[in-house]
Chains A and B, each alone.
Chain A
Amino acid sequence: MASGRLRRKWARNILTVLAIAVSFSMLLSLSSISLGLHRASEERLSGSPRDIVISSLGLQPSIENSHEIASELKQDRNLSAVMPVLTVLGRLALDKGHEGDVEVGDKISLKEGMETMTVGMVGIVPDMALDFMEKENELFIRSDLLRFNGWFSEGSDPFHGSNYSDNWTGELILDENILDEHGLDIGDRVYQVNGSGQICAEYTIRGSIETSLVGAGLTAELLGGIGMVHLGELQWATGNHKKETPEGMTSDLANAIYLNLDESLATTDAKRRYSMMLESRFPGLEVTSKESRLYRIDEEVLILEVFAVSVAAATISIGLLFLSSIMIIDVEDRKADISIMRAIGISRRTIFLQTVRDSLVLSSLGAVIGLIPGWQGSSTIDAFLRELYGLNIAFSSFEPLVFMGSIIYLFVLASIFSLVPAIWATTIMPGSTLKDLRNR
């Protein structure tokens, strides 16, 4: 019976259905993006074996004597793995057109035509990094999985051990993206370029890293990839081995010290207590546990979620306001029919439910039509974000939960928005309306 009523004003109803379809597809897309972001950040963090990170408060590395601190912490039986890390944006030059070795302390001008690239340089102590690897050749750095093809031959940090004077290894594990893009291979040499545009260090490529951190798009434009070297050598090449600061001379600087707690401290309470102990031991540094990072990411993602859901809610509300106004016009058009129904004894309840049901039928049709554009929109936004950030992670999670949640949301709102026309329909009195009809 509803289909007959809805067919009668088909053009109007088709437009209403399309309006709901558009708003429902927006709701689906934004909900799946919101959920996708949430899932991605949770999965990436929960996949990381690190439990606590002690890090510099600012962008500049400020953890002094990082090797010494790491060695001390390694003695702590509560920790299963410790590693100081220095991450800086570096500039590497390819060896094409350059001849001769670079000795420690050399400052050589870049020759004309030398190709350079910006690389995220990560300094580590290889043996310490191995303690973090639950699977062979796989390491998590800042929640990103790094898979190594080839590894450092020198496990310690000998250049640091010689007080930054000797035993330069020059070992570099370089991002596969860079190798592919620049036609580099294992054994090739690349050079670190300092802030003055001079070559200051030489590395030999010992292996490659497969990572989701840098793929394509904007991130790849800004950052060609990542390269891992011995911590001491990166400190020296970037001036972080000894640095004059307003507070005095500092040395052996790192950005972070990664800690993996022993299994005996697996409970949340134990982790919290240990984090608090570290906070008091390292004032001026930030101590973040996996839980606190999760909480922080939750907060950040929540903002995005609230934004996405707000936009979706506003969009769907506009669609349903349209539905509501159309239903009011429909009730006005059906005033005669409703008064006839009231005259023959059809109850207000039935008329109320009929109006709500008509709204839900239109909403359902809108949901069915909006499903595919919603899915398509979600995939398009996902692809766009992947391309923009160059990250190989799923920004969208289009799954039954999103669809069911969106449908329930739509139906609840559609029911609410149909209340005004439905209640209005029940106020139509048979006597006066039929009298008006007769007098026409």
Chain B
Amino acid sequence: MDIELREVSRRFRMGETFVHALSEINLVIKGGEMMSVTGPSGSGKTTLLNIIGTLDRPTSGRLILDGENVTDLSEGRLSKIRLTRFGFIFQQFYLLPTLTAFQNVYLPIRENGGYGPSGKKRARELLGIVGLSHRMKHLPSQLSGGEQQRVAIARALANDPPTILADEPTGELDSENSKIIIDTLRDLNRDTGKTVIMVTHDPEIARRSKRIVRMKDGKILK
């Protein structure tokens, strides 16, 4: 899936003043790319990722997915886009605490119409791929940080989206688990052709991507 941002700006109100999180960003990401977004805190990395993933709307400019301007689509349409075209991986994992690992993965599959045995089979397969077949019935609180992030990867792949958006996916993990997660994302990009867009502070991790976008003060550095 090709992603294009045209003159995208995003500003937030902070009391009486406005903070410009993104300023007139122009960016094209071709399908199948593995791209890292780096930059200091407050540079607008996460805001950029949220706008790409339709979690947030730009104040101005356009977001174009596969040639379709989705900037002004309804919340319902955007929700469907997030369900089918993006897989999200967050720094704090954001698993639902009352659901088991299996239920966390099965939830988006079911939402996309994958009821019954076939949907459950897929959830089990995905947990198998990330090496958690034996932890399916565990709640997130019973899993380590690395395991939780692997469940989050399985959930991100639930509906086989063309793009994975990862916001500091190793931020809460030790080096060993970080390596496992990055390897998994790289394998996904290489083996399945999925676009992987990853926000990271770590230059070492960023270097493992084919493309690195550096940001500062809401702008992409040339």
Which residues from chain A sit less than 8 Å from chain B, CB to CB?
Answer: 1, 4-5, 7-8, 337, 340-348, 350, 430-432, 434-435, 437-438
Contact = CB atoms under 8 A, between A and B. Distances in A.
A431 B56 contact: yes
Nearest to B100: A4
Nearest to A337: B96
Interface of B: 46, 50, 53, 55-56, 75-76, 79-84, 86, 88, 90-92, 94-99, 103, 107-108, 111-112, 155, 159
Contacts of A7: 98
A343 B88 contact: yes
B99 A340 contact: no
Contact of A431 (B50, B90, B112): B50
Nearest to A336: B94
B82 A345 contact: yes
A183 B84 CA distance: 90
A345 B76 contact: no
Contact of A348 (B53, B75, B98, B159): B75
A345 B79 contact: yes
A430 B88 CA distance: 12
Contacts of B82: 343-345
A437 B107 CA distance: 21
A346 B79 contact: yes
Given A431-B50, A431-B55, A438-B46, A345 B90 contact: no
A432 B50 CA distance: 10
A348 B78 CA distance: 11
Given A341-B107, A431-B56, A347 B98 contact: no
Contacts of A4: 98-99, 103
Contact of A430 (B55, B96, B97): B55
B126 to A, nearest CB: 14
B96 A434 contact: no
A345 B80 contact: yes
B108 A344 contact: yes
B76 A347 contact: yes
> Which 9 pairs show the lowest CB-CB distances between chains A and B?
A345-B83, A4-B98, A431-B56, A345-B82, A431-B55, A340-B94, A5-B98, A430-B55, A347-B79
A434 B165 CA distance: 15
A344 B98 CA distance: 16
Given A346-B83, A438-B92, 7 more contacts: A7-B98, A8-B97, A344-B107, A344-B155, A345-B83, A345-B86, A434-B50
A434 B90 contact: yes
A69 B221 CA distance: 115
A424 to B, nearest CB: 15
Contacts of B53: 343
Nearest to B98: A4
B111 A347 contact: yes
A337 B111 contact: no
A337 B75 contact: no
